[in-house]
Amino acid sequence: MNKMAPNLLEIRDLKKTFGIATGLFSRELTLTALQDINFSVRQGETLGIVGESGCGKSTLGRCILQLIAPDEGQVLWLGQDLTRLPAEEMRKRRADLQIIFQDPLASLNPRMTVGEIIEDPLKTLRPELKRAERRARVVRVMESVGLLPEMINRYPHEFSGGQAQRIGIARALITEPKLIVCDEPVSALDVSIQAQILNLLSELKDEYGLTLIFISHNLSVVRHVSDRILVLYLGRVVELATGDEIYGDPKHPYTRALLTAVPIPDPKLARQRQIESLQGEIPSPINPPSGCTFRTRCRFAIERCAEVRPPLEEIENGRLVACIRWKEVETERAPLAQA
């Protein structure tokens, strides 16, 4: 990643809520999925977004792509606020902004052939292309993702999960986008297939000059593909740093707890490390804790943590942490065992 590369995407003060109906005559409750989200993505970068299920990762990805509209804030694409674009203008940006979904088979139309599935975005977003040109692009992108051209007339049910995800990747690549949001693209696959897809994404990033946002709940997966990692907890950013900083010296207690849950293949190192397991369940986003939302599960929490909402502050060289006690607790923590 080039640290001098320009920002393709900037997220400013993003907020997203959902209304939850509790009954026929009951008042509607508000679920806050995202709050005060701020970050940027540089051209050619892979930004990993991690956190437990329900922390807002997929919602954030969909807000970025304007698949759902945020309540507040800005999504700046090359300096232009996507949230204010008319529908027709936003449609023109779709070719540059694509997504790979979590469940490969569920995201493919079972009534369409592989060739039709991959070609379909071109019909909508590249109407000037002739049929022969579209078909040539389909064959070329199929070869790029490791699919044989003779598979072009097969249907999704004839493919394994890994092959189906390659079809989904090909569909995202066909418009030659600048940014792809990868929404947990390997979580539904076997471990051996996960490695193949991750390696493929890395190769395609270089080949096509892509910028990626890689969403996952698994820090060990994100580690291999991300330049920087953003850690979400209950809809808020708690830490943002480079991959080396996150894995070598995590500052936020939540990040550290996630890391200690990652298995280490070396039994000796695994026995040596101190497990900082998360206590209890993630709180309800309908009624989040006061102050620091992580305090109810944090072994370093003090009384002040319930009174102060920690801001996301830069502590060094662009590294951001939202914790009022990160300096104090750093001396209390045991070193992480590294594989």
**Cβ distance 300 to 253 under 8 Å?**
yes
As for how many domains the chain has, the answer is 2
SS3 230: strand
Q: In this structure, are 172 and 303 located in the same domain?
A: no
pLDDT surpasses 70 at 51: yes
Average pLDDT over residues 47-52: 94
pLDDT tens column, 231-242: 999 999 999 999
Q: Which two tokens stand for residue 81?
A: 């606020």
From 206, 233, 260, the end of a domain falls on 233
Q: Report the percentage of the chain scoring pLDDT > 90.
A: 71
CA distances, 184 to each of 106, 181, 230, 305, 331 (Å): 14, 9, 15, 32, 34
Q: In this structure, are 98 and 199 located in the same domain?
A: yes
Rounded to the nearest 10°, the torsion over CA 51, 210, 126, 161 is -50
Which band of pLDDT confidence, cut at 50, 70 and 90, is reported for residue 215?
Answer: very high
Which band of pLDDT confidence, cut at 50, 70 and 90, is reported for residue 55?
Answer: very high
Q: What is the DSSP letter of 150?
A: G
Average pLDDT over residues 219-228: 88
Which band of pLDDT confidence, cut at 50, 70 and 90, is reported for residue 327?
Answer: confident
The rounded mean pLDDT for the chain is 89
Q: Strand pairing partners for 48?
A: 214, 229
From 190, 209, 233, the end of a domain falls on 233
Residue 49 counted as domain residue = yes
Which band of pLDDT confidence, cut at 50, 70 and 90, is reported for residue 218?
Answer: confident
Average pLDDT over residues 27-42: 93
Q: Which two tokens stand for residue 191?
A: 């471990």
Q: In this structure, are 177 and 301 located in the same domain?
A: no
Q: In this structure, are 164 and 46 located in the same domain?
A: yes
- Select the more confidently predicted residue: 202 or 4: 202
Q: In this structure, are 76 and 145 located in the same domain?
A: yes
pLDDT surpasses 80 at 261: no
Residue 77 counted as domain residue = yes
In which domain, by residue range, is 94 found? Answer: 7-233
Q: In this structure, are 116 and 219 located in the same domain?
A: yes
Q: In this structure, are 90 and 176 located in the same domain?
A: yes
Q: In this structure, are 167 and 44 located in the same domain?
A: yes
pLDDT of residue 267: 58
Give DSSP secondary structure letters for 225-290: T-SEEEEEETTEEEEEEEHHHHHH---SHHHHHHHHTS--S-HHHHHHSPP-PPPSPPPPTTSPPS
Residue 243 counted as domain residue = no
Residue 239 counted as domain residue = no
Average pLDDT over residues 264-276: 56
What CATH code is carried by the domain that includes residue 63? 3.40.50.300
Which band of pLDDT confidence, cut at 50, 70 and 90, is reported for residue 339?
Answer: very low
Residue 308 counted as domain residue = yes
From 233, 267, 287, the end of a domain falls on 233
Name, in order, each residue with C-beta under 8 angstroms of 244's C-beta and a sequence gap of 6 or more: none
- Select the more confidently predicted residue: 333 or 116: 116
Q: Which two tokens stand for residue 39?
A: 């970050």
Q: In this structure, are 92 and 201 located in the same domain?
A: yes
Residue 238 counted as domain residue = no
Which band of pLDDT confidence, cut at 50, 70 and 90, is reported for residue 337?
Answer: very low
Residue 242 counted as domain residue = no
Q: In this structure, are 184 and 295 located in the same domain?
A: no
Average pLDDT over residues 26-32: 86
Residue 1 counted as domain residue = no
pLDDT of residue 236: 96
pLDDT surpasses 60 at 171: yes
pLDDT surpasses 70 at 275: no
- Select the more confidently predicted residue: 336 or 332: 332
Q: In this structure, are 171 and 312 located in the same domain?
A: no
End-to-end CA gap in the chain:
24
Specify the range with the lowest mean pLDDT, choosing from 46-55, 128-137, 258-267, 286-295: 258-267
Q: In this structure, are 255 and 227 located in the same domain?
A: no
pLDDT tens column, 83-104: 999 999 999 899 999 999 999 8
- Give the total residue count for the chain: 339
